[in-house]
């Protein structure tokens, strides 16, 4: 099915009419408005807060400081708790100490946001400055300022992988590469910043919280736990979410704060994050340093790898813990055979905004390191960088293949896809042409990067093993209504990616109904199935879709039994075809799903023992991850003033079966855009004293339409054996190999030029301009 033949996404039909409903669009009677006063200090004692003048202003309804919150609420929950991980009693407002610029210090609730802002300007806080540390490297030093006095150092947690005799391999290697590859801090920057609206819910003696989140059930658990309320008295609704990219996958203190204020005031309280504050109040991503050495034999076969992934966790150990470093460690071998390895992953706290998840989650960082190192090795061996990959990639015949860190590569045709991509790109010709251009003085070059993406996040045992405190399963409920049309209840959260359309498609296929007959209900803990992990880790269509298929098949089974009863036939002789069940030999013996649904709900004539209604659910726990993979190739030119002009990108990938090719394409190209921003210019900078330098969209460059090169996509579909539909995730693929591919192309373009340029940091602008 080609992308343009697909029925339109129902959400797109609403969005183009301006009928999306984001949290800021929700209106409640008697709604109040919150503003959060944030710390201007990176590290300081909170010595005194004088709120008298602000509290007495007309229109101010509530003023809360950290002392009250510390007494009245429990600490924010730990979502990922690695073995040995350190703790901090982090709450939604700072008390006695602030640890980053932007940390919430006071909550003001007023009749309007403007009044709340004015009141905030009249709160006087006395800070006792403490020495600050902003970089992970500095925070590791023994004499570094400490963020938590009860910790022996600034390390949150660490994990190690040790396999084989690494030292011996390096001793006998013909070629060794050593490098330090830095991915700077960047913002996920969904165009809709965060927003929370909390309202008392008298009917459940509790609360309803609207929040722009990827994880409604996790927010429910957090709010209930922080406010010490029973979980079932909290309802969380994620209405339309204006982009997320991981930024909205963790729970935030503002959700607790608004819930607290709404309960206390018995009125709805709304907080809309301003873009300006989002640069320090929403979790950024990356900020990792990967130290990597590779050992090759004379034939270019990889013998061993030594790696260290160091994450700047920012000021608090929570959000996603050191998950991105851990994931990076696990993903370091990627799609390659690595006989021996020694890997350490760790995260340290610093006086910066806590980092969390951002699309790619550790994988672009290690991909940048490994693929840069492969190019370095290929240059030294004087072989085609593509050939060096070919010699080391896992072969199709070896699948499923357990990689050296334990990751199971489920399926794939790595060599076939690589060769297809090289041919489509015209790799050899482009290498020759750019080499000619370089001898003519134009600095152009080509580069490639192979990647794998861990998708369909799950296996609950895996989550348990690594300390993720939520199950990796997903629940879906398929309810055929008395009309014969279908409501699907999913725990997955659309955030623009269109997972609801993929689920509708799968349901329509299973039940042989037109897609218009399926509505997908999501983002409401009161009606939707429970999911622990929710939407993240590229699992929506893969895991959520598998649960849907399971539930739909149960419905189908019931339809066949019911039809057999009504048609006086043997169920084994019946088929579900075009929205009805009919006899395989006699299509006139047929009952439509509508007929069967009515029979099921009237329940006057059901087979013995059959329950009334037509409503099934399934909890699907994936047996393994689905590993998508691909290769990005690009061609660049360097302008005299060092703007990197990306001339074209070819992206070849395989995410198993594609349920909606239009969504796959949107995910890949959207990911490429963020990968291009990562590669070239997106970075959040700090002054040495911890003052953020990037607090405005004027200073944070994201790609616009004119910044995107022509993109060609190549698709291969190798089904995953572990999922009923064969589909793997694709949400993060686009972003993973682009930094390495562009950096490799720039290195190629620079090969005859200024060797002093540092190209081992992304964004490349950092090396090209020395941090300007």
Partner 1 sequence: MRVTLVLNGDARTLDVDTTERLCDTLRERLDLTATHVGCSEGVCGACTILLDDTPARACLALTVQCDGARVETLEGLTPADALSPAQQAFVQHGAVQCGFCTPGFLAVIEGLRRQGDAASWDEATLRRELSTVACRCTGYDGIVRAARAVLQPTP
Partner 2 sequence: MEPVYHAPGTLDEVLALLAIGRGEARILAGGQTLVPLLFRVEDEPHTLIDLRRIVPLRAIDATATQVALGAMVTLQAAELALRTSLPQVAAALRCVGTAPIRARATVGGTAALADPWAELVTCLHALDAELVLVAEGRERRVRAIDFFHGIRRTARQPDELLRQVVLPLPVPGERHAYHEFTVRESGGKARALAFARRRDGRTTLTLAGERLMPLRVDGTISAAQAALRHEDPSARALLLRVAGQALAMLDEETDPCA
Please say which residue, 700 or 722, places its beta carbon nearer to partner 2. 700
* CA dihedral sign of residues 384, 387, 389, 392: negative
Choosing from 71, 572, 608, 706, the residue that interacts with partner 2 (CB under 8 A) is 706
First vs last C-alpha separation in the chain: 47
Q: Which stretch binds partner 2 (CB under 8 A): 166-174, 417-425, 624-632, 699-707?
A: 699-707
Shortest distance, CB of residue 577 to partner 2, whole angstroms?
A: 52
Cβ neighbours of residue 637 closer than 8 Å, sequence gap 6 or more: 437, 442, 443, 444, 644, 645, 647, 749
Q: 283 near 250, Cβ under 8 Å?
A: yes
Coil/strand/helix, residue 281: helix
Compute how many residues bind partner 2; rule: CB under 8 A.
27
Q: 145 near 68, Cβ under 8 Å?
A: no
Q: What, of partner 1, partner 2, none, does residue 681 touch, CB below 5 to 8 Å by kind?
A: partner 2
Q: 46 near 66, Cβ under 8 Å?
A: yes
Shortest distance, CB of residue 702 to partner 2, whole angstroms?
A: 8
Q: What, of partner 1, partner 2, none, does residue 729 touch, CB below 5 to 8 Å by kind?
A: none
Element of type H or E holding 272: strand 269-272
Which residues, 99 to 118, sit near partner 1 by CB under 8 A? 114
Which residues, 632 to 651, sit near partner 2 by CB under 8 A? 639-643, 645
**Count of other CB atoms within 10 angstroms of residue 48:** 10
Q: Using CB under 8 A as the criterion, what x/- string covers residues 99-128 for binding partner 2?
A: ---------------x--xx--x-------
Choosing from 393, 680, 735, 738, the residue that interacts with partner 2 (CB under 8 A) is 680
Asked if 24 touches partner 1 (CB under 8 A), the answer is yes
Asked if 666 touches partner 1 (CB under 8 A), the answer is yes
Q: What, of partner 1, partner 2, none, does residue 666 touch, CB below 5 to 8 Å by kind?
A: partner 1
Q: Cα–Cα distances in Å, from 153 out to 90, 99, 129, 140, 239?
A: 18, 15, 20, 8, 41
Shortest distance, CB of residue 672 to partner 1, whole angstroms?
A: 6
Asked if 704 touches partner 2 (CB under 8 A), the answer is yes
As a whole number of angstroms, the distance between CA 247 and CA 284 comes to 7
Q: 222 near 251, Cβ under 8 Å?
A: yes
Asked if 771 touches partner 2 (CB under 8 A), the answer is yes
Report CA dihedral (68, 74, 77, 82) to the nearest 10 degrees: 110
Element of type H or E holding 208: strand 206-211
Which residues, 491 to 550, sit near partner 1 by CB under 8 A? 495-498
Asked if 274 touches partner 1 (CB under 8 A), the answer is yes
Compute how many residues bind partner 1; rule: CB under 8 A.
58
Q: What, of partner 2, partner 1, none, does residue 497 touch, CB below 5 to 8 Å by kind?
A: partner 1
Closest CA to 15 of 498, 459, 367, 355: 498
Q: What, of partner 1, partner 2, none, does residue 245 touch, CB below 5 to 8 Å by kind?
A: partner 1
Closest CA to 77 of 86, 66, 90: 90
Please say which residue, 216 or 471, places its beta carbon nearer to partner 1. 216
Asked if 276 touches partner 2 (CB under 8 A), the answer is yes
Cβ neighbours of residue 147 closer than 8 Å, sequence gap 6 or more: 43, 99, 133, 154, 315, 349, 350, 351
Q: What, of partner 2, partner 1, none, does residue 495 touch, CB below 5 to 8 Å by kind?
A: partner 1
**Count of other CB atoms within 10 angstroms of residue 150:** 8
Coil/strand/helix, residue 326: helix
3-class SS letters over 405-445: CCCEECCCCHHHHHHHHHHHHCHHHHHHHHHHHHHCCCCEE
Asked if 769 touches partner 2 (CB under 8 A), the answer is yes
Choosing from 153, 165, 274, 665, the residue that interacts with partner 2 (CB under 8 A) is 274
Cβ neighbours of residue 698 closer than 8 Å, sequence gap 6 or more: none
Please say which residue, 697 or 757, places its beta carbon nearer to partner 1. 697
Q: What, of partner 1, partner 2, none, does residue 143 touch, CB below 5 to 8 Å by kind?
A: none
Q: What is the DSSP letter of 96?
A: S
Tell me the β-bridge partners of 37. Answer: 106
Q: Which stretch binds partner 1 (CB under 8 A): 350-358, 430-438, 693-701, 748-756?
A: 693-701
Asked if 9 touches partner 1 (CB under 8 A), the answer is yes
Which residues, 704 to 743, sit near partner 1 by CB under 8 A? 704-708, 711, 734
Closest CA to 525 of 261, 75, 206: 206
Asked if 665 touches partner 2 (CB under 8 A), the answer is no
As a whole number of angstroms, the distance between CA 411 and CA 399 comes to 6
Q: What, of partner 2, partner 1, none, does residue 465 touch, CB below 5 to 8 Å by kind?
A: none
Q: What is the DSSP letter of 236?
A: E
Q: What, of partner 1, partner 2, none, does residue 642 touch, CB below 5 to 8 Å by kind?
A: partner 2
List of residues contacting partner 2 (CB under 8 A): 114, 117-118, 121, 274, 276, 639-643, 645, 680-681, 698-699, 701, 703-707, 765, 769-772
Residues lying near partner 1 in the complex (CB under 8 A) are found at 3-4, 8-9, 11-22, 24-25, 27, 114, 189-193, 240-243, 245, 274-276, 495-498, 662, 665-666, 669-674, 696-698, 702-708, 711, 734
């Amino acid at each position: 099915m080609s992308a343009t033949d697909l029925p339109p996404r129902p959400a797109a039909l609403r969005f183009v009419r301006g009928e999306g409903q984001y949290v800021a669009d929700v209106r409640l009677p008697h709604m109040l408005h919150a503003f959060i006063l944030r710390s201007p200090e990176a590290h300081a004692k909170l010595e005194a807060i004088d709120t008298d003048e602000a509290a007495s202003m007309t229109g101010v309804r509530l003023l809360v400081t950290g002392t009250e919150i510390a007494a009245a609420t429990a600490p924010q929950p730990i979502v990922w708790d690695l073995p040995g991980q350190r703790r901090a009693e982090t709450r939604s407002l700072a008390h006695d100490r602030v640890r980053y610029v932007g940390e919430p210090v006071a909550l003001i609730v007023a009749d309007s946001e403007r009044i709340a802002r004015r009141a905030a300007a009249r709160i006087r806080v006395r800070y006792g400055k403490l020495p600050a540390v902003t970089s992970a490297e500095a925070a590791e030093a023994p004499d570094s300022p400490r963020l938590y006095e009860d910790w022996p150092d600034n390390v949150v947690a660490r994990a190690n992988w040790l396999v084989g005799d690494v030292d011996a391999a390096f001793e006998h290697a013909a070629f060794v590469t050593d490098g330090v590859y830095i991915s700077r801090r960047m913002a996920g920057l969904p165009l809709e910043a965060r927003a929370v609206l909390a309202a008392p819910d008298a009917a459940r003696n509790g609360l309803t919280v609207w929040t722009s989140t990827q994880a409604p059930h996790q927010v429910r658990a957090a709010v209930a736990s922080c406010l010490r309320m029973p979980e079932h008295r909290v309802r969380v609704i994620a209405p339309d979410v204006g982009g997320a990219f991981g930024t909205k996958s963790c729970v935030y203190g503002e959700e607790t704060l608004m819930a607290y204020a709404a309960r206390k005031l018995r009125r709805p309280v709304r907080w809309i994050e301003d873009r300006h504050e989002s640069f320090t109040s929403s979790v950024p991503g990356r900020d990792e340093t990967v130290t990597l050495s590779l050992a090759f034999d004379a034939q270019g076969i990889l013998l061993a790898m030594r790696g260290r992934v160091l994450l700047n966790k920012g000021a608090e150990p929570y959000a996603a813990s050191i998950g991105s470093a851990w994931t990076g460690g696990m993903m370091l071998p990627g799609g390659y055979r690595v006989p021996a390895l020694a890997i350490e992953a760790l995260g340290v706290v610093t006086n910066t905004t806590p980092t969390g998840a951002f699309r790619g989650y550790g994988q672009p960082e290690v991909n940048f390191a490994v693929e840069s190192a492969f190019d370095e090795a290929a240059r030294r061996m004087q072989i085609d960088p593509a050939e060096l990959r070919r010699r080391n990639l896992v072969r199709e015949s070896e699948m499923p293949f357990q990689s050296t860190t334990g990751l199971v590569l489920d399926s794939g045709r790595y060599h076939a896809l690589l060769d297809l991509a090289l041919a489509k790109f015209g790799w050899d010709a482009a290498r020759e042409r750019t080499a000619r251009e370089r001898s003519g003085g134009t600095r152009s070059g080509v580069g490639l990067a192979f990647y794998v993406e861990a998708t369909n996040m799950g296996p609950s045992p895996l989550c348990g093993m690594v300390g993720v405190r939520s199950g990796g399963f997903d629940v879906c409920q398929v309810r055929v209504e008395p009309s014969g049309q279908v409501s699907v209840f999913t725990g997955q959260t659309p955030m623009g990616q269109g997972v609801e359309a993929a689920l509708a498609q799968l349901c329509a296929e299973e039940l042989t109904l037109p897609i218009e007959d399926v509505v997908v209900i999501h983002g409401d803990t009161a009606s939707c199935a429970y999911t622990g992990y929710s939407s993240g880790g590229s699992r929506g269509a893969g895991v959520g879709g598998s649960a849907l298929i399971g539930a739909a098949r149960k419905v189908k089974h019931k339809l066949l039994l019911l039809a057999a009863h009504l048609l006086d036939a043997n169920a084994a002789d019946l088929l579900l075809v075009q929205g009805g069940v009919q006899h395989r030999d006699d299509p006139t013996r047929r009952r439509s799903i509508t007929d069967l649904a009515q029979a099921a709900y009237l329940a006057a004539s059901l087979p013995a023992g059959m329950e009334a209604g037509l409503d099934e659910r399934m909890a699907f726990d994936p047996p393994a991850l689905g590993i998508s993979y691909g290769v990005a190739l690009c061609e660049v030119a360097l302008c005299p003033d060092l703007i990197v002009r990306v001339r074209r990108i070819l992206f070849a990938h395989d995410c198993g079966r594609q349920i909606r090719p239009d969504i796959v394409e949107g995910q890949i190209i959207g990911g490429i855009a963020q990968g291009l921003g990562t590669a070239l210019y997106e970075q959040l900078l700090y002054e040495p004293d911890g003052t953020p330098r990037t607090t405005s969209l004027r200073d944070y460059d994201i790609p616009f339409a004119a910044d995107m090169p022509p993109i060609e996509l190549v698709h291969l579909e190798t089904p995953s054996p572990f999922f009923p539909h064969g589909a793997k995730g694709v949400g993060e693929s686009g972003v993973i190999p682009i930094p390495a591919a562009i950096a490799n192309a720039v290195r190629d373009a620079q090969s005859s030029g200024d060797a002093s340029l540092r190209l081992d940091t992304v964004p490349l602008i950092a090396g090209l301009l020395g941090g300007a």
